[in-house]
Amino acid sequence: MAALRGAATAALRGAAARFRGRAPGGARGAAGRQCYDLLVIGGGSGGLACAKEAAQLGKKVAVLDYVEPSPRGTRWGLGGTCVNVGCIPKKLMHQAALLGGMIRDAPHYGWGVTQAPHSWATLADAVQNHVKSLNWGHRVQLQDRKVKYFNVKASFVDTHTVCGVSKGGEETLLSAEHIVIATGGRPRYPTHIEGALEYGITSDDLFWLKESPGKTLVVGASYVALECAGLLTGLGLDTTVMIRSVPLRAFDQQMASLVTEHMAGHGTRILRGCAPEKVEKLPGQQLRVTWVDLTSDRKDAGTFDTVLWAIGRVPETASLNLEKAGVHTNPVTGKILVDAQETTSVPHIYAIGDVAEGRPELTPTAIMAGRLLAQRLSGRTSDLMDYSSVPTTVFTPLEYGCVGLSEEAAVARHGEEHVEVYHAFYKPLEFTVPQRDASQCYIKMVCLREPPQLVLGLHFLGPNAGEVIQGFALGIKCGASYQQLMRTVGIHPTCAEEVAKLRISKRSGLDPTVTGC
C-alpha cells in the first residue's frame, strides 16, 4: 500500500506539473486544432463527473459525446446509460410495479380501492419526460462550469489528438495534454442466433417504447434481465425469463436463488437450463422463439410479443481507433487495461467506468473515480479510487442489496473454518396485515470467525434494500466488526433493525426464523 501511495504521489506531481504548463485551454493550436487541458470522451456519469470536477478546479475541459442509435433506432440525449436507459428509468418503472402491489394491499388497510389496469403509455411518457429533463440539466451544468460540449463521435488521430465527427459529417480536431475515455458499454446481441438482431430489443429500447411490450421473453441471467423481468411482471405483463446457467453469477448464490424463487412464486415464469436457437416473425406480428433444453436436448417453442436480450454488455471501444494512440485492451473483453490510477498503456490517457477492465459496472463508482482522477490531475489529492466493499442493489420485485464479499468469496479467500455466517429469515411488519408471503425475506452477515469478527459482507433481501445497505456500507467500509454491530441499537419497527439482531450462525444449525416483534 505504501508503494502504491508513493507511485500515486509521484504521478500526481508529474501530472499536475504538466497541467500547469499548458497554454490556456480552448486556444487554437496547429492547423486549427482546439486545445484543452482535458478532453473527456463520453458523456455518461463518470465522464461528466470528471469533466465538471476538472473545470471547477480551473481546467479548460471539453466533453465529446455521441450516441449511436440502437439496432431498433432508439436514440437519447446527454447523460449516458444510467440517465437514459439504465438506473433512472429502471427505478421509476420498478416503483410503478411496486405501487401495483401496494394497491393490492390497500383494502387490507381499509382503503376502498380497486385494482385498475396499468397504462404503459402514461408511465412511459412520464419517465421519458423526466429523462429528457435530466438531459437538459446536464447540458446546463456543463455550460455553467464552462465545459465545452461537442455532440460528435470521437476517434484518436494520435496520442494527443482526437477527431470528432458530427451527425452531419463535419470534422473537428481537438487536442489535450490529458484524455479520459469514459464511453461505457452497450447491450450485447447474440448475433449467432437467427432473428436475434432483426426482431429482438435490449434495455436500450425497453424504457423508450411508446406502447406496452406485451407478453415478453427476457433472455439472460444478469441483474438487468431479472430487474426488467420483475418490473414487467409487476406491471401485469406475461413475462418469462430464460436462464442458460445460473442467475446473478457475480453475486452470492444463496441470495440469487432466493431472488429467483421469489420471482417464480410471484408470477414470472423461469425457464432454467435453456438457450434460444431462433426467433421468427409470425404474420400477426408476434414472435415465435425456438429454444433447446440443454439437459435433455429437447426443443420447445413459444409465442411472444417482445424478446428482450439481457445477456451482458460490450465496451464502446471499437470506433475509438485506440491503436493509433497505443492504448491497449483486453483481447477477450475488449475493455481498456488500466492501473490503480486509471492510467492506460499511454501515461496521459485514462479510462474510467464500464469501459475499463476490472471495474464494477456501477454508476457511483464511475462518478467517484472520475472526480478523484480530476483532483489528482489538478494536484489537489493523491487519493486513489478504492473499489473494495462497494455497495449495490438489484432492484428485483423483492430487492437484493449487498456490500462486501459473498459467502462463497469469503470462504475461498479465508477458508471455511475461518468464516462465520449469521443469518435470519424475517417478516417485514408491513407484510403482516395483507398477509404477504415473506418466505424469501432474508439477511446474511459474513464475518471472520476470530474475534472481534470483522464483517466481510452483508446481504439483505427485502423491501427498500438499497436504503438499508447504504447505511451499513459506511460501517463496513470503516472496518466494522460483528461485535460492534451487535452493540448498535436498532430502529423499531424496521427491516433494517433485523441486521442488528443477527444472533444465529449457520454453523449452529439452529432455525434462523425471527419470531415475535
Report the catalytic residues. 492
The answer for residues whose C-beta is within 8 angstroms of residue 496's C-beta and 6 or more apart is 467, 468, 471, 472, 490
**Nearby residues of 151 by Cβ (< 8 Å), 6 or more positions away:** 65, 66, 166, 167
Cis peptide before 347 (omega within 30 of 0): no
The residue among 431, 479, 92, 511 whose CA lies nearest residue 266 is 431
Rg (CA), the chain: 25
Contact 249, 270 (CB under 8 A): no
Neighbour tally for 95: CB within 10 Å: 14
Pairwise CA distance, residues 135 & 132, whole Å: 5
Cβ-based neighbour number of residue 471 at 10 Å? 11
SS (H, E, C) 391-456: CEEECCCCCEEEEECCHHHHHHHHCHHHEEEEEEECCCHHHHCCCCCCCCCEEEEEEECCCCCEEE
At position 96, the amino acid (one-letter code) is A
CB 12 within 8 A of CB 382: yes
For residue 143, how many other CB atoms are within 10 A of its CB?
Answer: 11
CB-count exposure of residue 162 (10 Å: 0-12, 13-18, 19+): buried
